[in-house]
Amino acid sequence: MPHDALEAGPGKLAPAEARKITGHVTRLSVMVAATLVIAKLIAWILSGSIAMLASLADSSLDLVASLTTFFAVRYAATPADAEHRYGHGKAEALASLLQALLVALSAGYLIHESWNRFVDPQPLDAGAIALSVMGLSIALTLGLVWAQTRAVKQTGSLAVTGDRAHYFADLSSNMVVVVGLVLALVGIERADPIMGFIVVLWLFWTAFTVGREAISALMDRELPDEEREQIKALAADDPRVLGVHQLRTRASGPFIHIQMHMELEPELTLTQAHAILVAAEARVMAAYPAADVLIHPDPKGRAAPHGNAYFGRDGASSAGPADDPA
């Protein structure tokens, strides 16, 4: 499969380029979130709408999450050092996990506020101002989501993906808030807290999806199967390579880490085997500039069992499901 046919993901851009793209879009995210927090705070003070309060709380947490993402993507792209030999890429996953926790907490708070307003409905004031603010919110959020989608396609950033998930939820919740405001203005006062409950459901779903992806990254989930097949094909694209097995991969922010065993003719000298491995690393890194590649050479048919079987390294000498458990 051609490399370009694969969906964008970590490792496919040089770290400096990925940092430039994610840095731009996270700055934009912070600016949009700050603007919406100020506008919604004013609209809530003037209108007293619980649905507007729900949207304000969501935007406030989005601002915190966007600031976290802003710093996380920069830290994640910094080079490895003596204390973090695998780099700092998991900062993106930690930022996404924090986003999920914040959204879940806000949803819990909004359940309480929505219930109180449902039991004791209140008329809304300054409804036109509230509707104008929601229109502004929808327009700014649409622009931000478009920019984030482009950044995710280029970098595969988990942190930006999590931030985008918040704003996708915001689009839906903002539209729901508009419906609640309109219904409340025509006399259906309980429509406002009911819309608040619907926003809560969106928040919980967002927290679940973002948290699930963050935990998967922190648990070193393998790259998708099509990516793994692409890596195998690149590594084996040399008639001197007799097989590739025990491929292990994981993503870490803008980086990926790749390990594999490569079967070679037993009679090769160490210098010859080294040259083949270096050429294979170069092929993989041409497609994945932010990859850390480690290849272990095995003499074809003579590789005694080695490594730790607990991690799937059983020393088998032929590629197949039994010796490539991932």
Same domain, 175 and 260: no
Alpha-carbon radius of gyration of the chain: 25
Q: Among 190, 218, 246, give the residue marking a domain's end.
A: 218
**pLDDT value, residue 265:** 94
Same domain, 213 and 233: no
We report the CATH number of the domain holding residue 26 as 1.20.1510.10
- On the question of pLDDT at 99 being above 80, the answer is no
- On the question of pLDDT at 2 being above 60, the answer is no
Q: Which of 172-176, 210-214, 283-287 has the lowest mean pLDDT?
A: 172-176
Same domain, 157 and 303: no
Read off the pLDDT of residues 81-92 as tens digits, 9 standing for 90 and up: 788 888 787 887
Same domain, 176 and 253: no
Same domain, 43 and 178: yes
The encoded tokens of residue 306 equal: 């080695």
We report the CATH number of the domain holding residue 258 as 3.30.70.1350
Residue 105 or residue 177, greater confidence? 105
Read off the pLDDT of residues 50-66 as tens digits, 9 standing for 90 and up: 667 766 777 787 788 78
Segment 8-22 mean pLDDT? 73
Same domain, 139 and 258: no
CA angle 35, 37, 38 (to 5 degrees): 70
Q: Among 218, 243, 273, give the residue marking a domain's end.
A: 218
Considering the entire predicted model, what is its pTM? 0.67
Range of the domain at 304: 225-323
In the numeric block, the tokens 């010859």 are attached to: 272
Where residue 243 falls (left for φ over 0; alpha for ψ -120 to 50; beta otherwise) is left
Q: How far apart are CA 232 and CA 167, in angstroms?
A: 37
Residue 98 or residue 234, greater confidence? 234
What does each C-alpha distance from 137 to 81, 140, 199 come to in angstroms?
A: 42, 5, 15
Same domain, 38 and 147: yes
**pLDDT value, residue 5:** 38
Same domain, 71 and 209: yes
Read off the pLDDT of residues 20-46 as tens digits, 9 standing for 90 and up: 888 888 899 899 889 988 888 887 887
Q: Which of 45-54, 215-224, 275-284 has the lowest mean pLDDT?
A: 45-54
**Are the C-beta atoms of 11 and 254 separated by less than 8 Å?**
yes
- On the question of pLDDT at 240 being above 90, the answer is yes
Segment 212-239 mean pLDDT? 89
Same domain, 282 and 189: no
Segment 94-106 mean pLDDT? 78
Angle, helices 270-287/225-235, rounded to nearest 10 degrees? 140
What does each C-alpha distance from 254 to 16, 213, 297 come to in angstroms?
A: 10, 15, 27
Q: How far apart are CA 251 and CA 280, in angstroms?
A: 20
Same domain, 79 and 146: yes
Same domain, 146 and 18: yes
Read off the pLDDT of residues 292-308 as tens digits, 9 standing for 90 and up: 999 999 999 887 777 77
Q: Among 218, 252, 272, give the residue marking a domain's end.
A: 218
Q: How far apart are CA 48 and CA 263, in angstroms?
A: 70
Closest CA to 211 of 97, 108, 310: 97
Measure CA 256 to chain center: 14
Same domain, 179 and 265: no
Residue 222, helix vs strand vs coil: coil
Domain total for the chain? 2
Q: How far apart are CA 247 and CA 231, in angstroms?
A: 9
